[in-house]
Amino acid sequence: MGKLDGKIAIITGGSEGMGRSTARLFVEEGATVVITGRNQDTLDAAVREIGGTVEAFRGDISKLADLNALRVRSERVTSVYFKVMRNGSTS
d(CA 85, CA 12): 5
Contact 31, 4 (CB under 8 A): yes
| pLDDT, tens only, 38-56 | 999 999 999 999 999 999 9
d(CA 61, CA 64): 7
Its pTM stands at: 0.80
pLDDT band with cut points at 50, 70 and 90 for residue 91: very low
Provide DSSP, 9-71. Answer: EEETTTTSHHHHHHHHHHHHTT-EEEEEES-HHHHHHHHHHH-SSEEEEE--TTSHHHHHHHH
**Other CB atoms within 10 Å distance of the CB of residue 8:** 19
